[in-house]
Amino acid sequence: MIKSAISNLKEILMKLLKKTALIFSIFLLFFIVLPCGSVPDEISVQKVYVIPVAGDVDPGMSAFVKRALENIPVGNDTHIIFEMSTFGGRVDSALQIVDTIVNNKKGKTIAYVKDKAISAGALIALSCDELTMNNNTTIGDCAPITYSKEGPKMMGEKFQSPLRAKFRSLAKKNGYPEKLAEAMVTAEMEVYRIEMEGKTYYMDSREYKDLGKKEKDSITSKKTTVAKGELLTMDDLEAKELGFSKMSVSGLDELLVKMKVGKYEIVRIETSWSEIFVSFIGKISPILMLIGLAALYTEIKAPGFGAPGAVGIICLSLVFLSQYIVGMADYTELLIIVLGIILLGFELFVIPGFGIAGVAGVACLAVGMILSLQDFVIPDPSLPWEFDLLINNIAQVLGSSVLAFIISLSILRFVIPKLSRVVDGPYLEVSLEDSHADSIEANAAHIGDTGLAMTPLRPSGKARMGDEIFDVITEGEFLEKGTPIIISEIRGNRVIVSKK
């Protein structure tokens, strides 16, 4: 009886112990496990990086995209959105951006067409892992064009072929219809939508013509998607229907919701003030080059080192620095330009005149400036636009040099001799026009006397007349040392000479 009671008591105690353990476990689960489970909510906040691609596609934009991607940290489920709003620009810069995006390992890239992605912008958009578009936006029309007197002109097959190859490569990478991607480049392509054996194919007229009779008989539907003579340009609905765009949205927030991005933080990467400044300098580089070269030539022809020399060096330095920052110029171009300046200085201060050192200095400056405007030395035959870019850069530098020469001569001939007339006084109120000269130079020199220039006359300097040396001045004409001269006029104490 007692044993039975003890046994029942033990059983009750065991049940009570089990219930206590269960309650304690629930307690731990509620106060420890659940609070710990709230930590992933904070960690799960995803950073969405937005990189704007707006305005002209140029070397400045290429440098900005590269810098933006480099500054994004590596992380899980990182989304990088390229916000597209551009009519395009330079092909070489677009290809640099494409290579930067394709080689990106920081996260998934999404092209989000905010307004438009035309020409080079379409090429950049298709290089991303996915394409999305705002409602009523457009993408396409990437034919290479050049500008002539008649206006924009489409470039030939030599230029279109490498671009088509690039579009084809990007289409294969992202699963886009290859022929439709190529139709953005070449207007001569006619592309059909073919329904055959329950599948949809996009073929150009050549592929369709090469189909066998059996294959043509199995075609259930044939429609012209891109007519000959037209470039493929799509709105957001057409891009989705043709297999390019993943979705159409009304804004960035809706895009992230449809992409099922949970809790997110948008980090917008903007261009810095220095990048904006460099881009501005790049646009006015021909003007800066013209001013810089004109100022340097004026300094060479004028004695001493003053304002023209400083202005010339500053202008050319700004051009080179802008190209260096965007990656177009390197130390090689800098060394060539510095060598040119050294040779010009040697010609100016050591061996007056203009000989081999001067010609070599000008040549070095021209070569250095041309190479600083491009990221290659010899054009690649497979990239025909590089040859055109080289010709354009040569024309720009040589044109600036010729104009600079003309401008500097005009300044030296007409501006510098008249500067004293526009400088504020004080001046003598009484004219000395009728006064008699009693200096040694005036008394010993006579009109018609001949001699040689002892120093460069720019326009003033020293000249030997017989056994005497005089301070003389020309009528704005610059004469080199050793030039035969003749006294043409004496005005007061001023001995006016000209070339004999």
For residue 154, being part of any structural domain is answered with no
Instruction: Answer yes or no: do 309 and 382 share one domain.
Output: yes
User: Strand, coil or helix: what is 177?
Assistant: coil
Instruction: Answer yes or no: do 114 and 56 share one domain.
Output: yes
Cβ-based burial of 131 (10 A; exposed 0-12, middle 13-18, buried ≥19): buried
Q: Show the DSSP H helices in 142-235 as ranges.
A: 157-174, 178-182, 205-209, 213-217
289 contacts 317 by C-beta, under 8 angstroms: no
Site of tokens 């995803």:
46
Q: What pLDDT is stored for residue 441 in this prediction?
A: 46
55 contacts 62 by C-beta, under 8 angstroms: no
DSSP string, 135-148: TT-EEE----EEEE
> For 57, what's the count of Cα atoms within 13 Å in the CB-facing half-sphere?
26
Name the residue among 356, 355, 349, 365 with its Cα closest to residue 401.
365
Domains of the chain: total: 3
User: Strand, coil or helix: what is 257?
Assistant: helix
For residue 494, being part of any structural domain is answered with yes
Instruction: Answer yes or no: do 382 and 481 share one domain.
Output: no
Instruction: Answer yes or no: do 342 and 288 share one domain.
Output: yes
Instruction: Answer yes or no: do 258 and 311 share one domain.
Output: no
The bridge status of strand 138-140 relative to strand 151-154 is unpaired
157 contacts 138 by C-beta, under 8 angstroms: no
Q: What pLDDT is stored for residue 405 in this prediction?
A: 81
Which of 241, 268, 295 lies at the terminal end of a domain, its last residue?
268
Name the residue among 183, 187, 220, 173 with its Cα closest to residue 203.
183
Instruction: Answer yes or no: do 455 and 327 share one domain.
Output: no
For residue 475, being part of any structural domain is answered with yes
pLDDT tens track of the chain, all 500 residues? 454 545 555 565 555 555 555 555 555 544 444 444 444 444 567 889 999 999 999 888 999 999 999 999 887 678 999 999 999 998 989 999 999 999 998 889 999 999 999 999 999 999 999 999 999 999 999 988 876 666 677 888 888 999 999 999 999 999 999 999 999 999 999 999 999 988 999 999 999 999 988 898 899 999 999 999 899 999 999 999 999 999 999 999 999 999 988 888 899 999 888 788 888 888 888 888 888 888 877 777 665 556 787 888 888 888 888 888 887 777 888 899 889 888 877 776 666 555 677 788 888 888 988 888 888 888 888 888 788 888 988 888 888 888 888 887 787 777 766 655 555 555 445 454 554 444 544 456 788 888 888 888 877 888 888 888 888 888 878 888 888 888 888 877 788 888 88
Q: Residue 48 is which amino acid?
A: V
Q: Which domain holds residue 370?
A: 273-418
Residue 144, token pair as written in the block: 């290479």
Which of 222, 244, 268 lies at the terminal end of a domain, its last residue?
268
Cα(162)–Cα(51) distance, rounded to whole angstroms?
Answer: 27
- Residue 80 forms beta bridges with which residues? 49, 109
337 contacts 313 by C-beta, under 8 angstroms: no
Q: What pLDDT is stored for residue 41 in this prediction?
A: 44
Which of 248, 268, 288 lies at the terminal end of a domain, its last residue?
268
Instruction: Answer yes or no: do 250 and 384 share one domain.
Output: no
Query: Residue 72 to residues 48, 161, 470: CA-CA distances in angstroms?
Result: 10, 35, 72
151 contacts 173 by C-beta, under 8 angstroms: no
Cα(55)–Cα(33) distance, rounded to whole angstroms?
Answer: 52
For residue 183, being part of any structural domain is answered with no
Site of tokens 């009671």:
5
Q: DSSP secondary-structure letter at 304?
A: S
Instruction: Answer yes or no: do 358 and 449 share one domain.
Output: no
Cα(97)–Cα(295) distance, rounded to whole angstroms?
Answer: 36
Name the residue among 182, 195, 186 with its Cα closest to residue 229.
186
Instruction: Answer yes or no: do 255 and 282 share one domain.
Output: no
Residue count of the chain = 500
User: Strand, coil or helix: what is 477?
Assistant: coil
For residue 13, being part of any structural domain is answered with no
Q: What pLDDT is stored for residue 148 in this prediction?
A: 65
Q: What pLDDT is stored for residue 35 in this prediction?
A: 46
Dihedral angle over CA of 494, 495, 499, 500, nearest 10: 160
For residue 12, being part of any structural domain is answered with no
Q: What pLDDT is stored for residue 34 in this prediction?
A: 43
Name the residue among 151, 154, 140, 136 with its Cα closest to residue 86.
140
Cα(488)–Cα(154) distance, rounded to whole angstroms?
Answer: 62
Instruction: Answer yes or no: do 315 and 336 share one domain.
Output: yes
Instruction: Answer yes or no: do 278 and 379 share one domain.
Output: yes
Q: Residue 329 is which amino acid?
A: A
User: Strand, coil or helix: what is 323?
Assistant: helix
Instruction: Answer yes or no: do 344 and 238 share one domain.
Output: no
464 contacts 454 by C-beta, under 8 angstroms: yes
Buried b (16+ CB within 10 A) or exposed e, 336-366: bbebbbebbeebbeeeeebeebbebbbebbb
Q: What pLDDT is stored for residue 44 in this prediction?
A: 66
